[in-house]
Amino acid sequence: MSATTGHWWDWVRGDGALGLLKRVVKRVVSTARLRLFGEPEAAPWMLKKLEVDRRFDARFAVETGGVTPLSALHITGNNRRFGVNHIASDPDELEHALDSLPGGLKGLTFVDLGSGKGRAVLLASHRPFRRIVGVEFARELHEAARANVARFRRSAQRCARIELVCADAANYELPDEDLVIFMYNPFGLEVMRTIAARARQSLRARPRRMYVLYSNPFHIEAWTALGFQPLASRYNFTLLTAPQPGTPNAQEPAGT
């Protein structure tokens, strides 16, 4: 039995023949919608992304890929207008980003803000984090992530402590632990400023190690304005560390 056939068989055993049929139909419809209604200039990139998604999902017998508009989802909180459509992290880019983290991951909690269907959470579980948390405000994506985490358990995991939270990231209280905050361009500048300010306040209340791993960092200024310092910037991501005590520009905006 080939590796791909084996993964399809995992799906049949996990979801039954009807569940497998639903997955196949959903994927065909998704691809057809892209070909028929996608923007012509975006189609080549999106078709490549769909192929990457297909390979990743077949490898691990999960369903993390595709593009899901927020308009089709039930949202927790009041920040729908600041969110972006769901699209999963590129596996290779994410691995490069995780490689940039310093040693001692066993003492760090990995928090994915805007965790979608859970791809980053799954790949992070191959690293020896203390624990992993995914925070997602779309109920359907949260439920998909739960199913994927349950299906993904395997010997390659080095962190099996995974918690998924359905909540608005802007209202989520960061754990009082050494942290890696991961984001894959999940929301607009307004929410990003709120989250950065809450992270800064959390550090003031309890100084500790905190890293921000920001993929597609369109709103990096929300963090640097509060004194977070870039440590690395490559492969389409930026890694920042917590402000040092007495950093001159580590000031929250008025009203935070």
* CATH number of the domain residue 196 falls in: 3.40.50.150
Average pLDDT over residues 200-209: 96
> Band of the pLDDT at 76, cuts 50, 70, 90?
confident
> Which residue has tokens 């918690």?
163
Rounded to an integer, the average pLDDT of 129-158 is 92
> What integer is the mean pLDDT of 20-44?
49
**Are residue 153 and residue 62 in the same domain, yes or no?**
no
The answer on 172 and 103 residing in a single domain is yes
Considering the domain boundaries, does residue 79 fall inside one? Answer: no
217 with 160, same domain: the answer is: yes
Q: What are phi and psi of 234, to 5 degrees?
A: -165, 170
- Same-domain check for residues 194 and 164: yes
Domain count, the chain: 2
pLDDT at 2: 43
234 and 116, same domain (yes or no): yes
The one-character DSSP state at 229 is E
Integer Cα distance of 24 and 40 in angstroms: 25
Asked if residue 213 is part of any domain, the answer here is yes
- Which range among 12-16, 193-197, 216-220, 246-250 shows the weakest confidence by mean pLDDT? 12-16
pTM of the model: 0.78
Q: How remote is the C-alpha of 167 from its chain's centroid? A: 14
pLDDT of 89: 86
Please check whether residues 33 and 157 belong to one and the same domain. Answer: no
In a domain, 77, yes or no: no
Asked whether residue 22 falls in the same domain as residue 94, the answer is no
Same domain, yes or no: 124 and 230: yes
Amino acid at 170: A
Give the range of the structural domain holding residue 34, as residue numbers without chain letter: 3-67
**pLDDT greater than 90 at residue 11:** no
d(CA 238, CA 219): 11
DSSP-assigned states of every residue in 182-211: EEES-B-HHHHHHHHHHHHHHHHHS---EE
| 56, 90: one domain | no
Token pair recorded at residue 193: 């400023």
For residues 107 and 206, membership in a common domain is answered with: yes
23 three-state secondary structure: helix
Q: Is residue 139 part of a domain?
A: yes
